[in-house]
Amino acid sequence: MNIAVNTRFLLNNSLEGYGYFLKEMLGRLTKNHPEHQFIFIFDRPYDQEFVNAPNITAVVAGPPARHPLLWKWWYDVRVPAVLKKFKADVFLSCDGFCSLTTSVPQCLVIHDLAFLHYPSFIHRSHLLFYKRFTPKFLKKAASLVTVSQFSKDDIIANYKITPSQIEVIYNAARTSIQPLSWQEKQSVTHDFTNGKSYFIYVGAIHPRKNLVNLLKAFSIFKKRQKSDWKLVITGRAAWQSRKFMDSLASYKYREDLIVTGYVDEQKLSGLIGAAYAMVYPSLFEGFGMPVVESMQAGVPVITSANSAMQEIAEDAALYTDPTSVEDIADKMMLIYKDEALHGKLAEKGKERAKRYNWDKSAELLWRSIENAVSKK
Phi–psi pair at 101, nearest 5 degrees: -115, -10
In the predicted model, what is the mean pLDDT of residues 146-152?
A: 98
CA distance 223 to 276: 19
Residue ranges of domains in the chain, CATH in brackets: 2-172+357-374 (3.40.50.2000), 182-353 (3.40.50.2000)
Assign 12 a pLDDT band (cuts: 50, 70, 90).
Answer: confident
pLDDT score for 189? 96
**Cis peptide, bond prior to residue 63, ω within 30 of zero:** yes
pLDDT score for 21? 94
CA distance 2 to 35: 10
In the predicted model, what is the mean pLDDT of residues 311-325?
A: 98
Cα 245 to Cα 235, 260, 312, distances in angstroms: 12, 12, 30
* Whether pLDDT at 239 is above 90: no
Assign 229 a pLDDT band (cuts: 50, 70, 90).
Answer: very high
Q: How many CB atoms lie within 10 A of CB 265?
A: 12
The model scores a pTM over 0.85: yes
* Whether pLDDT at 194 is above 80: yes
The mean pLDDT of the chain is: 95
* Cβ(184)–Cβ(341) below 8 Å: no
Return the minimum-mean-pLDDT range out of 53-67, 183-197, 227-241: 227-241
Assign 243 a pLDDT band (cuts: 50, 70, 90).
Answer: confident
Assign 245 a pLDDT band (cuts: 50, 70, 90).
Answer: confident
Question: 307 vs 311, which has greater pLDDT?
Answer: 311
By the 10 Å C-beta count (0-12 exposed, 13-18 middle, 19+ buried), 371 is classed as: middle
What's the pLDDT tens digit per position in 44-85?
A: 999 999 999 999 999 999 999 989 999 999 999 999 999 999
In the predicted model, what is the mean pLDDT of residues 102-123?
A: 96
pLDDT score for 236? 86
* Whether pLDDT at 347 is above 80: yes
Count of helix runs (H) and strand runs (E) in the chain: 15, 13
pLDDT score for 200? 98
CA distance 368 to 362: 10
In the predicted model, what is the mean pLDDT of residues 119-137?
A: 95
Q: What percent of the chain has pLDDT over 90?
A: 89
Assign 110 a pLDDT band (cuts: 50, 70, 90).
Answer: very high
Return the minimum-mean-pLDDT range out of 125-129, 243-247, 251-255, 351-355: 243-247
